Amino acid sequence: MSQTVPPAAAHRVPPPVVPKSRRPWRSSTREALTAYGFVAPFMILFAALLVVPLCYAGYLSLFRSQLVGGDVFAGLGNYRRALDDPLFREGVLRMARFLVVQVPVMLAASLLFALALDSGRLRFPRLIRLGIFVPYAIPSVIAALMWGYLYGPDFGPFAQLARDVGLGTPGFLNPHWILASLANIVTWEFVGYNMIIMFAALQSVSPTLYEAAAMDGAGAFRVAWHIKIPAIRPALLLSVIFSVIGTFQLFNEPKLLSALAPQAINTSYTPNMYAYTLVFTNQEVNYSSAVSFLLGAVIVVVSYAVQLASQRKARRS
């Protein structure tokens, strides 16, 4: 007797063969290698152009060149010499005075322009914003040369105009006014840059805050003081820290104006100029490296103090 096969069993299709999936760790490893491949060119250039020179400068700062014996290990001797160097101390203190006077004026002007643009009451706001930002696009060397021409006591237009109206020649380049003249150049250059940072931060503030303040009867001044400025405090802190770093690194403007005002700007007028003179004029590479590292330490300390003060003020408010 033959055995019959049920119809359902006769037409049963075998299950498809599912290929084995790749191991997850292989996929994640490939993605990680791809990411590192994209970052590698930057990291190589960063190490070659910044990390390696810094390490080499730090190595040089621990030695001292002698006529007899060549380079000998000096330890922290160059750093002690820099701390006792009156030229280095005077340059740091001069830049500290520059920081206390110039940075608040510059940031106040930047904040005023940013608030005015954010108010929406100005005509042609894009044109005004571009006009304020354009000086930052001009290289600092060109800006220093241009203002040096304007400050000139013989051929400068300010001096010619003052003489035409019967006034004396303005002393923009004399020792008493040179720091203010430099502050004017730096302010003219960087007001637009800081204004863009603050204006971008204001654009990210929620408009519902302004609407709630308007319903409570707050005017434009109170909205700006109590809502807008506190809301962009991180952007203000960022601008302050950038300004601190830029102040102690000031070089191009005084270096170029020193040719027009040699009695007002000497070779150690700023710490950066002093380090430059030590290397390229006095051939004191080891000592210049120590001066540069001490300047970096000053910048770190001042920047941290500014950040710490801002955090304490934020906690109190």
Cα angle: 70, vertex 87, 105; to 5 degrees: 135
Task: Give the number of other Cβ atoms within 10 Å of residue 30's Cβ.
Answer: 11
Greatest alpha-carbon span in the chain = 136
According to the per-residue pLDDT averaged within each range, which of 13-22, 26-35, 273-282 is highest? 273-282
Q: How confident is the model at residue 170 (pLDDT cuts 50, 70, 90)?
A: confident
Q: How confident is the model at residue 1 (pLDDT cuts 50, 70, 90)?
A: very low
Q: What is the pLDDT of residue 7?
A: 55
* Contact call for residues 250 and 272 (beta carbons, < 8 A): yes
Host H or E run for residue 14: none
State yes or no: pLDDT of 20 exceeds 80. Answer: no
**Average pLDDT of span 245-272:** 92
Q: What is the pLDDT of residues 196-211, one digit of tens each?
A: 999 999 998 888 887 7
Q: CA 112 to CA 104: how far, in whole Å?
A: 12
Q: Quote the tokens at residue 72.
A: 């000998």
* Contact call for residues 314 and 103 (beta carbons, < 8 A): no
Q: How confident is the model at residue 15 (pLDDT cuts 50, 70, 90)?
A: low
Q: Which of 118, 94, 110 is nearest to 210 (CA)?
A: 118
Q: What is the pLDDT of residues 216-225, one digit of tens each?
A: 777 888 888 8
Contacts of 153 (CB under 8 A, 6+ apart): 159, 169, 170, 171, 172, 173
Q: CA 62 to CA 285: how far, in whole Å?
A: 11
> pLDDT over 70 for what percent of the chain?
91
pTM reported for the whole predicted model: 0.83
86 burial via Cβ count (<10 Å: 0-12, 13-18, 19+): exposed
CATH of domain 85-316: 1.10.3720.10
Q: Which of 190, 191, 207 is nearest to 119 (CA)?
A: 207
Q: CA 23 to CA 44: how far, in whole Å?
A: 31
**How does the average pLDDT of the chain come out, rounded?**
87
Q: CA 93 to CA 105: how far, in whole Å?
A: 19
CA-CA distances (angstroms) from residue 137 to 6, 132, 142, 193, 285? 86, 10, 10, 9, 33
The domain segmentation of the chain, as residue ranges, is 28-73, 85-316
DSSP code at position 84: T
Q: What is the pLDDT of residue 24?
A: 58
10-24, 111-125, 264-278: least confidently modelled range = 10-24
